[in-house]
Structure 1
Amino acid sequence: MKSKDRTWAAGAPITAGPNAPVIDDKASNGIWLLAVFAITIGLTFARMPQRLTQGFLWAEDVSIFLKGGYEEGFRSIFAPYAGYLHAVPRLIVAAYASLGSPVHAPLVLAWVCAIVLAGAATLLFTAVYRHVGRVAALCFALALIIVPQDGEIWLTVTNLQWILGPLLLVLLWREFAAKQLFPVRVFYLDAVLIVLLSLTGPFGLVFSVFVIGAAFIKGRHEWARRTWGLFVAYGLALTAQMACLVHASSQGGLVNFNPADFHWISSFLRYFVLDFISPASLNDKWSVGMRIGVSLIAIACCGFALYKTPGNYRLACVALLFLAVLFWVLGIARFGRTDLPMRWSMGGSRYLYVPFVFCFWTLVICLSKANGVGARLAAGVPLLLICFSSASGFASGKWPATNITSLVTGNAVSYRLLPPPGDSFGTTIRKVR
């Protein structure tokens, strides 16, 4: 017996196994894909016009990635930073270093990051629109640029991992859990992206729990041979990341954090839930009781919408909320500060980006699939409040341009780059003419 929640938005029933119908992405509407890409670029420009007109480099963009790209070339891909490999940023910078001068790096890399962001949004749209509808999928994709953020992670190669982490989760779901097979060309694109993104930051390690679970539940009866091959490749990428993480831990390269010194519940309610749906400039003026009350009402609305969302969609939302809270906890530990709140409008905003995206996705799914007007209102109103909260800090903070000077010595040029936020990240790069 087929239930409503077991049917995709496009009307095709869920089927599984090697004989499942192949979905051809030619059915995608090209106008929608162009619209997603263009809107993402437009919103990015609206939030950070200075970065896309004058260029932008941030701290480790210079001291870690540009320096590594010019001095080590593509070998820098194997150099860990902050305990992890960062394959995508390293590839981008190494490719640029083989072609261009550090003088033009701020503008070129800012635009490359904008294109990567828009490309990630477009891929998200193609992956989910059959399940939630095109309008909801558009909101799903634009979450990457809409959620509250002070601009720390956007248009910098250092922070591309935060943009690409949510995309990795959706690609893993599409290849290992979704009950449809896609054309071979789509599979190989997904496979390359999954391996590269798993080698970029810690997200592949965290998501591996779900992939391993899918292997036990679906692997024997539903996975094709090519899916098992991708599973092995994914495992090898995770092994490399785990080796880097263990090495960093043994060298004392990770932050020491005592969970007992942190006020978990009050921080979660105020700096996660409340800041997500209301600007800090507004809720900082409220009484403690009002902050707690509004936070609990928001949680209740989400819970009600979740309860009224059917079957597999509810399971997806529960998984997203679990990951949101997990990444918030990991972010708190990584931030390592008990004297400074981790807020999207202050320090540590990068650690709130992925949790906010996952919560935004949850509400979009509930709005699209929940049964009843009340449940959809319970999801829709928080979404509007989130957009209002984001709009309060829509224009990202302006930082000074990277100061670049050069000194010619024989057939070599030494470039001195001083990026924001301070001179401590100043770096000298030597390039043979």
Structure 2
Amino acid sequence: MKDPKALSQMEDVQNLRGTSAISSHFILANQLTVALIVSAISVFILYLRLPGLFSNPQFWAEDGTIFFEQQMNIGHSAIFIPYAGYLHLVPRCVSALASLFSAAIAPTLYLAAAMLMAAWAALTLSLTRASLAPVFALTLFVAPHSGEVFGTITNVQWILSTVIPVIVLTESPKGYLSQLNQRAYILFSGLSGPFSALACPLFLYRLFWRRDRHGLWVSLLGMSAGAVQLYMILKDHASSSETRAPLYVAIALLDRWFGMLAHGWRSDSHITIALTVAFGALVAVAALEGRDRRLAIGMLLFCGAIMGATWVKYMPGSMANHFDLPVHGDRYLFAAKTYAIWILILGVTSLRPSMKVLSAAALVVIPFNYSSHGHDWWRRPPLEDKNWKEHARLVDEGIPTLIPINPAPWNVAIPGSMRQQ
């Protein structure tokens, strides 16, 4: 017979394991509940920044001229066609699904998909193990911005990419479903923009920093997506022989990054230049002094890669003035401004009182820049009604048509052939 004392000890161990499992499930369920609430609030903030768009959905730029038009004219094989030198998996999937329905509701479906992707980004961010993950998710859509990345599948890549460094540079989530979600997120976001190629150093770092199974999946999926996108980019690349102004473009990008947060416009005076330099220096110091130093530095490096790629694209002489006006190309600065806000939030958690005060003061200043020089950096202006539904009737009937969309003079050309399925 077995020793009664030993049997009692075994029962105690089993009871402890059962209690531990129940406690673990309870914690995971609680985290998911918090994440769902946070992501819902985050998407509601985004909704507030898009007045009029939901009552009258409209195509924006490549939504119509590339994704809708190529889906209608080419069919599902369009998913393999690169645009701007790389693949766009998420927008192509959305356009393929939307093609199953009437063209009249296509803008509505595209808008719904863009909001769903924004919600996915906020939820995935909130479920990471970053120390302030819920706060990051709540502030994902609060940076002063022209709004061009909001409510459109064309620019959803800029939102999705923002979460990549947070996934890579934080510990693996404990729940298996959360791990699967992160892997899917890395794959879809990685094949929907050039950012997986830019993040390859971070993926490589994760491979050696945390050699767990999930970390291996994240690194391999990210680097695989990055390799595909890098191949597409190099294949599409054409060198320019124009006069270059690299320093000018670099300074303009840095000004757009920190100047918009510091004073709300381009730095064209000694005072605004000083404010921009001070704000940038404060963000750099906060990255070193605040909580989650690895994550903060990683976000700055990822921003540097985005700025570097943008610099390479726009430094030819004829394009060097593209960033002179803050309303131009603001999508390139979305992640950079968002990371600056997150790093300042981390700076508030610093052990140094002076860093806490300076970071908090900088965060208080930012909302005052939502309106500057007669421009609203909080609400995206409503899009002009192009009478899409009337034109869409011709698309459904297979009649050749040229449909105007936002912004003018963009349009969608449908030759009138049968809808491709």
TM over 0.5: yes
Cα distance in 1, alignment partners of residues 47 and 417 from structure 2: 32
Cα offset, 1:342, TM superposition = 4.7
1:428 matched to 2:408: no
Match of residue 143 from structure 1 = 139
CA distance in 2, matches of 1:110, 1:347: 22
The residue that corresponds to 2:398 in the other structure is 412
Q: Does 1:199 align with 2:187?
A: no
**Distance in 2 separating the partners of 1:319 and 1:43:** 26
Aligned in 2, Cα 1:62/1:379: closer, same or farther, shift over 3 Å?
Answer: same
Provide the secondary structure at the position in 2 that maps to 1:426: strand
Percentage identity across aligned positions? Answer: 20
SS in 1 for 2:58: coil
* 1:204 CA displacement: 0.5
Give the counterpart of 1:270 among 240, 243, 255: 255
| From 302, 309, 312, the counterpart of 1:323 | 302
Alignment counterpart, residue 389 of structure 1, candidates 365, 369, 374:
369
Deviation string, structure 1 residues 22-80 (Cα, Å, up to 9, x no partner):
896323151x3343233223222221121111002111111110112223443222111
| TM score, norm. by length of structure 1 | 0.80
8 Å CA contact 2:290–2:350 kept in 1: the answer is yes
Which residue is equivalent to 2:354? 374
Cα distance in 1, alignment partners of residues 200 and 332 from structure 2: 20
Could you tell which deviates more after superposition, 328-337 or 82-91?
328-337
Deviation at 1:256, TM superposition (A): 7.0
Q: Is the 8 A contact 1:304 1:378 kept in 2?
A: no
Provide closer, same or farther for how the CA distance between residues 383 and 258 of structure 1 changes in structure 2, counting only shifts above 3 A.
farther
Distance 1:430 1:192, change over 3 A: farther
Question: Given that residues 125 and 140 in structure 1 are in contact (C-alpha distance below 8 angstroms), is that contact kept between their aligned partners in structure 2?
Answer: yes
Q: Deviation of residue 101 (structure 1)?
A: 1.6
- Counterparts of 1:55 and 1:235 in 2: how far apart (Å)? 36
Shift of 1:239: 2.5
The aligned runs of 1:156-167 (5 Å cut-off) are: 156-167=152-163
Q: Secondary structure, in 3 states, of the residue corresponding to 1:399? A: coil
Matching residue of 1:241: 229
Normalised to the residue count of structure 2, the TM-score between the two structures is 0.82
Which residue of structure 1 lines up, in the alignment, with residue 311 of structure 2?
Answer: 332
Work out whether residues 85 and 201 of structure 1, in 8 Å CA contact, stay in contact via their aligned partners in 2: yes
How many residues align? The count is: 387
Distance 1:173 1:73 in 2: 38
Structure 2 residue identity aligned to 1:325: G
Q: Secondary structure at the match of 1:417?
A: strand
Please say if residues 150 and 156 of structure 2, whose CA atoms lie closer than 8 Å, have aligned partners that are also in contact: yes
Residues 162 and 335 in structure 2, CA contact (< 8 A), matched pair in contact too: yes
Unmatched 5+ stretches in structure 1: 1-21
Q: 1:172 to 1:304 in 2, by over 3 A?
A: closer
Task: Compute the displacement of 1:90 (Å).
Answer: 0.7
Match of 2:12 in 1: none
Q: Equivalents in 2 of 1:390, 1:255: separation in Å?
A: 37
Aligned-residue offset at 1:148: 1.3
Give 1:395's aligned amino acid.
Answer: R
Distance (Å, rounded) in 1 between the aligned partners of 2:241 and 2:343: 32
Aligned-pair CA distance for 1:365: 1.8
